[in-house]
Amino acid sequence: MSVGIVSYGAYIPRFRIKVEEIAKVWGDNANSIIDGLMVYEKSVPDIDEDTITIAVEAARSAIKRGRVNPERIEAVFTGSESHPYAVKPTSTVVAEAIGATPNLTAADFEFACKAGTAAIQACVGLAGSGMIDLGLAIGSDVSQGAPGDALEYTAAAGGVAYIIGKKEIAAEIESTYSFTTDTPDFWRREGMPYPEHGGRFTGEPGYFKHVTSAATGLMEKLGTKPSDYKYAIFHQPNGKFPSRVAKMLGFSSEHIKPGLVVSRLGNTYSGSCMMGLAATLDIAKPGDRIFVTAFGSGAGADAFSINVTDRIEELRNGAPSVEELLADPIYINYSTYARHKNKIKL
Amino acid sequence: MSVPRFWRRLKNVYNLIGTQCENCGMYYYPPRSLCPKCRRSSLIIPFKFKGEGEVLTYTIVHSATKDFEKHVPYILAIIKLNEGPNLTSQVICSPEEIHIGMKVKSVFRKLGEESEKGMIYYGTKFVPLLNHSGK
Amino acid sequence: MRDVAIIGVGCTEFGELWEKSFRELFVEAGVSAIQDANIQGGKIDALFVGNMSGGRFIEQEHLGALIADYSGLASLHIASTRVEAACASGGLALRQGIIAVASGYHDIVIAGGAEKMTDVDVETTTHALTAAADREWEGVMGATFPGLYAMIARLHMHRYGTTQEQLASVAVKNHHNGSMNPKAQFQNEISIDAVLNSIMVADPLHVFDCSPITDGAAAVVLAPADVAKKYTDTPIYVKASAQASGTLSLHDRPDITTLDATVAAGNRAYRMAGLSPKDIDFAEVHDCFTIAEICALEDLGFVKKGEGGKATESGMTAIGGEIPINPSGGLKACGHPVGATGVKQAVEIVLQLRGEAGKREIAGAEIGLTHNVGGSGGTAVVHIFGRER
C-alpha cells in the first residue's frame, strides 16, 4: 500500500542579487564569502510577491504538471517561516486560489527550514491512511536576513509544492524518519522582522547532529546504505553544509549534484530541500532511488527514501523545471533589493 | 476596499472567474449578473477564463494613490482575454518590454494591503507569455 | 415643454482657496448669479447643486440642505437637490435645472456646482477621484485617473500617430487662454517643452497634461425663455440639453479611444437644437487631461476620429481659429473643481455670447457648446446655447 508524490511544482522569482552586490554595501570581501558559503547569488521576490503568492504559483504548477483535478485535494498544508499573517492561514488562500475549496482541511506549518517536509509527512499520513484522496504539501518562503547579517547573503525566495496520494504515484515515499530535539540554534520572536541565530552554534549541535541522526536512522530502519541511492538531497542553507554532511554520511558529490541548487538560488528555507528534490525529479529516471534529509532549526530533521516510478516521464514537461526557473534571471542592485524586500519604510 | 467587499469577489479575482451568458454565448469579466445583450433573457453561469490574452493599451503609473505608492512605477494595462472580454490589471515586466499587442498570461500576486496591520489583497496580474524559457 | 434661458451667471475665482470653505464658495457663486440676474431671493423656486464628493473631500453630505440654508433660503423652504455624476456633476445639475424649468415644475431655478478639494491631502483627493472609476475592477488594480486617460492616449498615439507634442499643444493653448481669464487658477503661458519636461504622472501624460486640483463654485439662474427678457436684456437661450451614459469602466468601452457617451450626448444635442457641429462657433469641452480634449474634438464631430491632435497643433482650436475650444482656459488652466466644472463651462459660454469675456472674447460668436464628462466617459453631458432663441 504505497503512498508518494503524484505531482510537484516549483516557483522561483525572477530577480537575483549577487553576493558581490551585498558585500559592497557592507564592506565585506565577496570572494571570501563566496568561498565560505559556496553561494554566488540569491533569488529576490518582486515587490508584490510573498510566501502566499509563491505558494500559489508552485501549487498551480504542480496541478498543471500532473493534470490533477484540484477538487481531489483534501488537505493543504503550507510550511513557511515567513507567513504573511501571524494569524490567518496561508493555506486557505492557496486552497482558494487553486480551486480546492471548500471540502478540505488546511493548516500552516512552521518549523524553520523543514516546515515543508513536515507538511509532506502529514500528507503521507493522511493519504496513506485513506483519510484523504490527495494532499498538497508546500514549502514556501521569502526568508528574511537582517541587513548586514551573514544570513543576508543567502536568505532567498522560492517555493515548492508536492501533491501526495496513493494513486498515479510518480515517486513512492517508501519511508520517512525524523529526529527532533530542543536546540535553539535559530529563532524569530513574534512580531520581530528578522531572525536571530547562534552563529557557529547552528552547525555542529544544530544542522550536522540532526541531519546525520535522521539520515542514519532512516537507513538503519530500511537497511539501506548510500550506494543504494542514485541521488541525495540535504537541506542547503549554503553550499558547504550539504556537501560536508553528504561526505560524512558516505554520499558522493555525484549523489548531491543535481539537487544542489543553493549556489544559484540561495536558501529558500522551507523550500530549500524540497527545491533540491524537485530539481532531482526533473532529471530522475524510473527506478531511481533518492535519499532526502531536510533540516529545520529549533531543531529537527526529516529523512525520506523515495523510489521513482514510470509515471515520472508523464510529468516531465508539464510545468517549468527548476533549471528553467533558474534561467533568465534579472539582476538587481542593493537599493532595488531593499525596495523589493520592504526594507524602505514609507 | 473593505474586507467583506473584497472577500465577496475573492474567487473571481484569484482565479479569473467571470460569467458567461448561455443565451448568447458572450463572456464577461469582470462578472456580470445580467447580460447587457440579452438583459431579461440572460442565462448567466460562472466561467473560468484561461488567463491568456494581449495588451490592448497600457501606461506606466508614476504617481499613485496611497495604496500603491510603494509600487511605483508600475505598468497598468487593459488586457484583452483570448475569450473576448477586456479587463484592467497590472503587467509585471520592464517598461522597455511592454508594448501594445504583447501576449500575456495571468499570475497570482499581491494587489495591495490596507496597511501594515490590515488585510492583504491578492489577485491576478499578468506577465509576458514568453518567460522562463517560454513556458 | 418650455424653452429655457440663462438670465444670470456667477463664478468664484478658481484655485487653491485656503481661506474659503465649501459653503462660502457656493454662496459666493450663487449670490453673484442672483445679482447678475437682478432677481430677489424670494423668487427662487428650486436649487440644484452639482458636487462629486463632499463626503470624502469635506466629510459632508446633505449638501442640498446645507446650501439652501447658507444661501439664506431655508426659511423659504425651496426645493434643493444635490446632483452627482463624478466630474459631470455640474453639467448634470445644470441639466436638472433646465428640465425643472422646461417641464413647468419650477420657474426660477439656480443650478450650480461646487467642490472644495484642498481640505484633504493629495493622496486622499486622488483616492476620492478614483471613485469615479470602477473601484472594484479598476481602482483596486492600481488605476488612477491619469492612468486611465494615459491608456486612452497610448492607444490614440499607437493608432492615429498622435504625438506627445500634439497632446502638449492642448495644454499650451489652454494656458494661453487661461492667461486672459482673471478667474483662472493658472494665468501663465507655458511652452511645449515645459509640458514635455514636466514630471511624468502616467506615461505618456506629464503633470502639465493634467488638470489641477481646484476649489471653486459656479452658478447660473434659469428662467422660462418667455419671461427671460423681464430680467435681462441679454438672456442666453438653452438650445439643447443632452446627457448620455457609457460603461463605467474604460476596459468595457467598445473603442478605448472613443468616449461613446460623448458621441451619443453630442448627437442628441445636435438633433435637439437642429444644428450640426459646423454650426457651433466655439466650445468648452472636458479637458481633464490633454488627450481628453483631443477625444472630445473628435467625438463631438468637430474633426474626424484620429485628427484631434493635428487639429490642435495646427491652431484650429485656438481663439481666432476655426473652432475655438476652451476659451476660459478649460479644466487645464482655469482649474477643475469637479462638481463646479460643468456649470463654469456654461458661465463661460454666457459671458462669451454676451460679449463680456474681455481679452479672450470670441468675436461674433452666436452659438456655444459645453461638454462635461464623468469619469473616463461613464457620463457625458452636452449643452448648446445661443444668443437667439
Q: Are residues C308 and C276 in the same domain?
A: yes
In chain A, residues 40-59 whose CB comes closer than 8 Å to chain B: 46-50, 52-53, 56-57
Please state, for a pLDDT cut of 70, what percent of chain B lies above it: 96
pLDDT at B131: 57
Residue A43 lies in a domain: yes
pLDDT at residue B135 is higher than 60: no
Q: Are residues A12 and A142 in the same domain?
A: yes
Domain range for C280: 141-212+239-386
Q: Radius of gyration (Cα) for chain C, nearest Å? A: 19
Domain range for B96: 51-128
Number of structural domains in chain C: 2
Partners for C (CB, 8 Å, 3+ pairs)? B
Inter-residue contact A13 to A43 (CB < 8 Å): yes
Residues of chain A with pLDDT under 70: 1, 346
Inter-residue contact A118 to A111 (CB < 8 Å): yes
* B119 → chain A, closest CA residue: A85
What's the whole-number mean pLDDT along residues C201-227? 98
Of the candidates A125, A153, A176, A160, which has an alpha carbon nearest to the alpha carbon of residue A270? Answer: A160
Q: Are residues A118 and A188 in the same domain?
A: no
Residue B40 lies in a domain: no
Q: Are residues C192 and C317 in the same domain?
A: yes
Q: pLDDT of C66-116, one tens digit each?
A: 999 999 999 999 999 999 999 999 999 999 999 999 999 999 999 999 999
Q: pLDDT of C335-381, one tens digit each?
A: 999 999 999 999 999 999 999 999 999 999 999 999 999 999 999 99
pLDDT at residue B134 is higher than 90: no
Inter-residue contact A243 to A38 (CB < 8 Å): yes
Q: pLDDT of A1-52, one tens digit each?
A: 599 999 999 999 999 999 999 999 999 999 999 999 999 999 999 999 999 9
Q: Are residues C15 and C28 in the same domain?
A: yes
Number of structural domains in chain A: 2
Interchain pair B133, A57: CB under 8 A? no
SS3 state of residue B72: coil
Alpha helices in C9-62 (DSSP H): 22-37, 54-57
Q: Are residues A274 and A296 in the same domain?
A: yes
What's the whole-number mean pLDDT along residues C208-218? 98
Residue A346 lies in a domain: no
Residue B92 lies in a domain: yes
Number of CB pairs < 8 Å for A and B?
A: 61
What's the whole-number mean pLDDT along residues C123-138? 93
Residue B81 lies in a domain: yes
* B110 → chain C, closest CA residue: C141
Work out the mean pLDDT of chain C and round it to a whole number. 97
Q: Are residues A196 and A219 in the same domain?
A: yes
Residue C127 lies in a domain: no
pLDDT at B57: 98
Residue A68 lies in a domain: yes
Describe the crossing of helices A209-222 and A240-249 by its angle, rounded to 10 degrees.
40
Query: Distance between CA atoms of C110 and C79, rounded to whole angstroms?
Result: 10
Residue C134 lies in a domain: no
Q: Are residues C285 and C323 in the same domain?
A: yes
pLDDT at B133: 44
Residue B116, CB-side half-sphere exposure with 13 Å CA sphere: 5
Residue A172 sits at φ, ψ, to 5 deg, of: -75, 130
Here the cell at position C106 is: 419650477
Q: Are residues C171 and C224 in the same domain?
A: no
SS3 state of residue A114: coil
pLDDT at A1: 54
Query: pLDDT tier at B67 (50, 70, 90 boundaries)?
Result: confident
A235 is catalytic: yes
The CA angle A249-A250-A252, to the nearest 5 degrees, is: 120
SS3 state of residue B67: helix
Residue A248 lies in a domain: yes
C87 is catalytic: yes
What CATH number is associated with residue C109?
3.40.47.10
Residue A345 lies in a domain: no
pLDDT at residue C235 is higher than 50: yes
**Position of cell 475655438?**
C324
Please state, for a pLDDT cut of 90, what percent of chain C lies above it: 98
Of the candidates C343, C293, C350, which has an alpha carbon nearest to the alpha carbon of residue C173? Answer: C293
What's the whole-number mean pLDDT along residues C26-43? 95
Domain range for A72: 4-170+313-340
Residue B66 lies in a domain: yes
Side-by-side strand order, sheet with C79-83: C79-83, C46-50, C109-115, C216-224, C4-11, C236-245, C379-386, C367-374, C282-284
pLDDT at B132: 46
Residue C136 lies in a domain: no
Q: Are residues A13 and A108 in the same domain?
A: yes
What CATH number is associated with residue A124?
3.40.47.10
What CATH number is associated with residue B75?
2.40.50
Interchain pair C147, B30: CB under 8 A? no
Residue C128, CB-side half-sphere exposure with 13 Å CA sphere: 26
User: In angstroms, what CA-CA distances link A331 with A152, A308, A327, A344, B60?
Assistant: 16, 35, 12, 19, 21
User: In angstroms, what CA-CA distances link A185 with A147, A200, A235, A262?
Assistant: 19, 9, 15, 21
Query: Distance between CA atoms of A260 and A38, rounded to whole angstroms?
Result: 11
**Position of cell 495571468?**
B106
Q: Are residues A233 and A286 in the same domain?
A: yes
Of the candidates A130, A115, A231, A166, which has an alpha carbon nearest to the alpha carbon of residue A5? Answer: A166
**Position of cell 548510500?**
A226
Residue A301 lies in a domain: yes
Inter-residue contact C183 to C92 (CB < 8 Å): no
Residue C129 lies in a domain: no
Interchain pair B10, A50: CB under 8 A? no
